[in-house]
Structure 1
Amino acid sequence: MTDFVLRERHGATFVITINRPERRNAFDLEVRQGLAEAIFEARDDDDIKAVVITGAKGVFCAGGDLKSLSESKRPIYKDRDRIRRLHSWFHELVNLEKPVIAAVDGPAFGAGFNLALACDFIMGTPTARFCAVFGRIGLVPDLGGFFLLPRIVGLQRAKELVFTAREVEAQEAASMGILYRIVPAEDLLQEALALAARFHNASTQALGMSKNILNRSFNLDQNTLAELESHAQALALHTDYHDTAVARFLDKQPLEFVWGRPPLNGDQE
């Protein structure tokens, strides 16, 4: 475990904080290692129902650490391996079968932008800024940018953001569908935690399978999606969660998960 990535429990929500403000939470080796460890913990712990990813002291993540990159030139195949190894854990984040919320204050640039895009919802402050900055230094998007960005903003807008490497401020990011909600800076973490807590009483199995299939939906034809749907629904029909929910419904008891209504157990952490 590294102090550059902090982990904290808030009820059933797991908060991951990039904590290297002296380097603007740059995506360096220690941060990558800490994020990998945290993502695997979130994946493997059944008590974790939702995840929040944020950055310390007014910065989400300013992207790659250019100083360390310039000081450690490697053979070309080593650079290829370095990027490929990122996806051993980043794939787990993108497909984590639990709701994941990015809480963004300040810049989310380069790999930091793509880290936010890997989450299911991005909440940001009015000073949140996003940039596919790679083109400014003659690089191409990494950390899943080619996969994630067009799915959020569409192909033409993704090309514009990559080709120009321009900054997108909060209001424009919301209009593009990047930001789910803009909240005051002082309320950011609490708003993200409140959103996460609303999933605590949901079926993690149903949400997880839905997320898995939705993530594939752009790449598959209708018949293949219908097959995935049938398998997922068969599994969901045999979960304890479904049995309990049906019994509550038939007994005219309130369901545990109804959006917009406070959780029955009062879990607001």
Structure 2
Amino acid sequence: MTSSYQYLIVDIRHHILDISLNRPQYLNALNDGMLQELAEALEQARNDDDVRVVILSGTGRGFCSGQDLKELAARGGEVNIREHLTRYYDPVIMTLYHMPKPTIAKVQGIAAGAGMSLALACDIRLGSENAQFAQSFVKIGLVPDSGSTYFLPKLVGLSKAMELALLGDIISGEQAYSMGLLNRLIPGKELDSVTWSWAERLAQLPSVTLGMIKEAIHHSLDHSLSEQLQIEQELQDRAASTQAHHIAVQSFLEKTRF
């Protein structure tokens, strides 16, 4: 996988791909170039069999402060927001969400606006005590986008999602953890090592199976119980035919043999 990016630092080790947003002087604010590079890196990760887990992080003090408003303002005139979302944001969110491999957001600082949306689109969110989250769209007269209105109610419930979106308040890592937005709240000095430990555990599990588990859970958000039971049957039939399943069963039988 290529690592020659202007706005990202991309590194792969032990089947774990770490994608770091790299505009630290702007708290990793998103510009068109970064979004294009992120879409490319995620698409490559999706198709690279050597990648089993993806970590999304940010360099410096912030995870991602959202859209770089200064860059948009510098263009002058009106920006076609719908076209901008369709071209730059939606491909990133869709590829991240439908990645057939586990994704982890490592949040050490502010995740605001579309930066928060990026974290929400990941499967797992790990944050330090310095992590902060904000649905800051309303502060500039905009509606939450990049999937926030889809992910947020499912993660924290309708009432809390309304509060966060309507007020746009900044919440702490501790608050995010208490409402279920973060999977773990980790001391800052341990965030890197704990995130890597989670990624290593996931990388050692059968990647095909993990992809099917993600698919099943995603389907459950929009299906009835009877529909979901059918999906489980189909996915379980596929899982039962994989080499990973047969090896795991054989290993279990050998360990339990007297």
TM-score range, shorter chain: over 0.9
Give the whole-Å Cα distance in 1 for the aligned partners of 2:77 and 2:90: 19
More displaced, 66-75 or 132-141?
Answer: 66-75
- Partner AA of 1:204 in structure 2: S
- Partner AA of 1:146 in structure 2: T
The question of whether the paired residues in 2 share the 8 Å contact of 1:2 and 1:30 is answered with no
The answer as to 2:185 corresponding to 1:182 is yes
Partner of 2:32: 29
The question of whether the paired residues in 1 share the 8 Å contact of 2:35 and 2:92 is answered with no
Partner of 2:196: 193
The answer as to 2:104 corresponding to 1:110 is no
The answer as to 2:27 corresponding to 1:3 is no
User: Residues 41-90 of structure 1, C-alpha deviation per residue, up to 9 Å, x if partnerless?
Assistant: 110111111111110012100111111122335666x4312212222232
Give the whole-Å Cα distance in 1 for the aligned partners of 2:191 and 2:253: 39
Partner of 1:84: 86
SS at match of 2:202: coil
Give the whole-Å Cα distance in 2 for the aligned partners of 1:253 and 1:240: 20
> Which of 145, 148, 153 is matched with 2:151 structurally?
148
Please list, as runs of the form range in 1=range in 2, the aligned pairs for 1:1-269 lying within 5 A after superposition: 1-73=4-76, 78-85=80-87, 86-252=89-255
Give the whole-Å Cα distance in 2 for the aligned partners of 1:222 and 1:33: 38
Give the whole-Å Cα distance in 2 for the aligned partners of 1:21 and 1:68: 15
State the Cα distance separating 1:10 from its structure 2 match.
2.2
The question of whether the paired residues in 1 share the 8 Å contact of 2:126 and 2:186 is answered with yes
- Partner AA of 1:91 in structure 2: M
User: Residues 130-151 of structure 1, C-alpha deviation per residue, up to 9 Å, x if partnerless?
Assistant: 0000000000111111111111
- Partner AA of 2:163 in structure 1: E
Q: Which TM-score applies when normalising by structure 2?
A: 0.94
Which aligned segments of 4 or more residues in structure 1 are displaced greater than 6 angstroms? Answer: none
Give the whole-Å Cα distance in 2 for the aligned partners of 1:171 and 1:184: 11
User: Residues 195-250 of structure 1, C-alpha deviation per residue, up to 9 Å, x if partnerless?
Assistant: 01001221111111111121221211112111211110110011010111111112
Give the whole-Å Cα distance in 1 for the aligned partners of 2:23 and 2:221: 36
Give the whole-Å Cα distance in 2 for the aligned partners of 1:47 and 1:74: 45
Identity, in percent, stands at 35
- Partner AA of 2:104 in structure 1: I
Identify, as 1 or 2, the structure richer in helix.
Answer: 2
- Partner AA of 1:162 in structure 2: A
- Partner AA of 1:122 in structure 2: R
Give the whole-Å Cα distance in 1 for the aligned partners of 2:140 and 2:77: 18
- Partner AA of 1:79 in structure 2: I
Q: Which TM-score applies when normalising by structure 1?
A: 0.90
- Count of residues paired in the alignment: 253
State the Cα distance separating 1:184 from its structure 2 match.
2.0
Aligned alpha-carbon RMSD (Å):
1.6
- Partner AA of 2:177 in structure 1: A
